[in-house]
Structure 1
Amino acid sequence: MNKNSGTNVEARIQQLEETIAHMSRLSEELNEVIARQDAEITRLTQRVEMLWRHAAEQQADAESGTIPLADQRPPHW
């Protein structure tokens, strides 16, 4: 193995190490984004459920004997 060949191997190893470091950092950043999105989706789902309950309660108070809004199919179904 000549000196030039050893230098090429070292350069390739260094490039691979840099690529792995970049991908590790990117993976951590994406994991943080996913964790934030999961928390936001959970929060928004709870709000939507609360709003559906509130709307159904208001409709039940206003119109006795009708189907609650939460149990109705959307008009496009």
Structure 2
Amino acid sequence: MEKLEEQIAHLTRTVEDLSDVIARQDNEIALLTRRVQMLMEREATREQDGGGGVVMGDERPPHY
């Protein structure tokens, strides 16, 4: 009986630890999702303004 109680205590602790990890990961995912959304909005605004500023392949920069 003591062995079972010990195993239950360890399993309970493991479940609590995993729950904490999941909660932390959920917060991190939410933060990263917000940041990606902000970057996407910023890039969309930049594209609308026509000032992408990225030179592709053999394109000449505008000052040439």
The one-letter amino acid paired with 2:48 is A
How much has 1:45 moved relative to structure 2?
Answer: 0.3
**Given the alignment of the two structures, is residue 24 of structure 1 paired with residue 44 of structure 2, yes or no?**
no
Task: Return the TM-score normalized by structure 2.
Answer: 0.77
**Given the alignment of the two structures, is residue 56 of structure 1 paired with residue 44 of structure 2, yes or no?**
yes
Structure 1: stretches of 5+ with no match in the other structure:
1-12, 64-77
C-alpha distance in 1, partners of 2:17/2:4? 20
In structure 2, the partner of 1:33 is 21
C-alpha distance in 1, partners of 2:39/2:7? 47
C-alpha distance in 1, partners of 2:49/2:3? 68
Q: Deviations over 1:27-73 (max 9, x none)?
A: 1100000000000000000000000000000010017xxxxxxxxxx
Structure 1 segments of 4 or more deviating over 4 A? none
C-alpha distance in 2, partners of 1:61/1:18? 65
Task: Return the TM-score normalized by structure 1.
Answer: 0.64
Structure 2: stretches of 5+ with no match in the other structure:
52-64
Aligned-residue Cα RMSD (Å) equals 0.9
